[in-house]
Structure 1
């Protein structure tokens, strides 16, 4: 039997091939064989030092997905938010495809690539973020529709055929998107450990009238804090890269402060008297105050998730993009 291809198959394959050229050559682009809404998987690779003089690239387990749509008719428009207009392209998309992205959750990024086959240009937007930050607030009933119109900022444009075009800023964004699950993981772990230390702090507070019990509870508290800080510091999110989200540097400094504070508290515990009396009461009171403040540093680490939700996920969306180029 003779096999045929239709125009839609040719358009789809063209879009996927062109999309693959939108990324650094060391990144791995994998076609998804059984396509149920996701077309390509992207794995980010980072340049690492090499002793033999040859450039090498290493994977750190950072991935995201692409949904590729190819068109010969890009529709230009404008997007108005807070009386500020921005240039966009308008693209109609089936709601059933957005349901899949929403079901995957925010920590698994799915990027929509709209490929202009005529001009060899690619426009993109993160669908997870668009649904949460743009579509749902502006159109709460979108789930009951068959299709919705998406607005992709013109600044999210990759000119694959333009040799003078510098795509590095786009690559930086995709690299940050790929690290998203690590940000959420760090926030979740820091929040969990902050809660655990709160329980340990209650035990320590109840022991402040007995020197032996106080020293035992304080030692256990600091042992836990030291263990928790070590585990958080081992997370891969703190590995330095030119693709990272800028706020990570501040939280990296917070983690350094935390580890230093734990070390100082261990030394300070040795100055708390082991016999009762006014001297013990005063020392225990001041120690508890410092310990409580130190636990607050764990809490501040957990806010990386909230900050990313409030600010980080707005990057490259239409409207109020705090990172607009």
Structure 2
């Protein structure tokens, strides 16, 4: 006897999770759903309105990938985080004398999903977005960063397991207000940041070469040096990374310095001052630009994770270190 078509609870949960996420994101953003699911459920493309009437939105050329999960029986608990050394430079080393208890929601994620994220690399942000079906709350964490900053330092042979526990801070709730969307906008800009970092490193090396300080140097003229610096400044300023970083002071500092370099090069640079100007560009302006890359790796990629550094940097008004009992 034939039976009517049926829907599984998993299918219903999936539809609810997509609906909840869609409601919490800006109406101008576009969700491109993937199917069948091979580790990525959708890509969110960022758009902004270009008119006051909010009738026309244009793409920002920015996006992030999403692993969308849902449950009606999530476990809410606390994760005890302790100060630790920089895991990008060495093995995990924790200071057991202090701690912060961070409210989190737990989720067991298949290791196969984590391996997919690892293959994509750090420049392609994959967010685990977890929807609580019972309350329709949604929480995010960047899996690229969680993998490298938490899972691998704590469990280097994680790939031998079937699943891993992922703990998402409750502060990482997605709400339809600009303040709460700032992290998502920053993840959308990540690919552009990595592209800019590579360009800045190349430019600084060429400025070093023009100063005669590289491993291999070529003789250049004052005119070609000035022309090169002009091209470098214009190229650096064209990178679409400067807007949308009001929350990160180093970006504003470097943008202002590049504008000063550009302004200087619009006039005549005295040949007697050229060497000093090249030194300023090398050791100050482009050195800072390259240091943004270092800070991004050490600091920014730890934002919004359940760690002490992330807590103090992302939510300083809530994160307070406590002394452990001796």
TM-score range relative to shorter protein: 0.7 to 0.9
TM alignment of 1:5-16, pairs within 5 A: 5-16=7-18
2:179 corresponds to which residue?
A: 169
2:281 corresponds to which residue?
A: 294
Give me the TM-score of the superposition, normalised by structure 2. 0.81
Output one character per residue of 1:34-88: Cα deviation in whole Å (capped at 9) or x when no partner: 32111111111123245xx555322110101111111111101111112111111
Output one character per residue of 1:11-52: Cα deviation in whole Å (capped at 9) or x when no partner: 2222122222220111111211332111111111123245xx
Partners of 1:258 and 1:120 in 2: how far apart? 50
Give me the TM-score of the superposition, normalised by structure 1. 0.82
Partners of 2:54 and 2:28 in 1: how far apart? 14
1:306 corresponds to which residue?
A: 294
2:262 corresponds to which residue?
A: 259
TM alignment of 1:206-221, pairs within 5 A: 217-221=221-225
Output one character per residue of 1:146-183: Cα deviation in whole Å (capped at 9) or x when no partner: 11111110111246xxxxxx633221111111011111
- Answer 1 or 2: which has greater helix percent: 1
1:247 maps to which of 225, 246, 250: 250
Residues 1:188 and 2:204 aligned together: no
1:162 corresponds to which residue?
A: none
Q: Shift of residue 141 of structure 1? A: 2.1
Whether the 8 Å CA contact 1:261–1:294 is kept in 2: the answer is no
Whether the 8 Å CA contact 2:246–2:252 is kept in 1: the answer is no
Whether the 8 Å CA contact 1:203–1:217 is kept in 2: the answer is no
Distance 1:252 1:243, change over 3 A: closer
Partners of 1:149 and 1:180 in 2: how far apart? 25
Distance 1:243 1:24, change over 3 A: farther
Partners of 1:225 and 1:289 in 2: how far apart? 13
Q: How many residues align?
A: 293
Query: Any stretches of 5+ residues in structure 2 without a counterpart?
Result: 83-98, 318-326
2:155 maps to which of 139, 143, 149: 139
CA RMSD of aligned residues (A): 2.6
1:89 maps to which of 93, 105, 109: 105
Structure showing greater radius of gyration is: 1
2:93 corresponds to which residue?
A: none
Output one character per residue of 1:79-106: Cα deviation in whole Å (capped at 9) or x when no partner: 1112111111111111110000111111
Partners of 1:167 and 1:293 in 2: how far apart? 41
Residues 1:34 and 2:36 aligned together: yes
TM alignment of 1:44-193, pairs within 5 A: 44-49=46-51, 55-82=55-82, 83-158=99-174, 167-193=177-203
Partners of 1:30 and 1:91 in 2: how far apart? 24
SS of the counterpart of 1:236?
Answer: coil
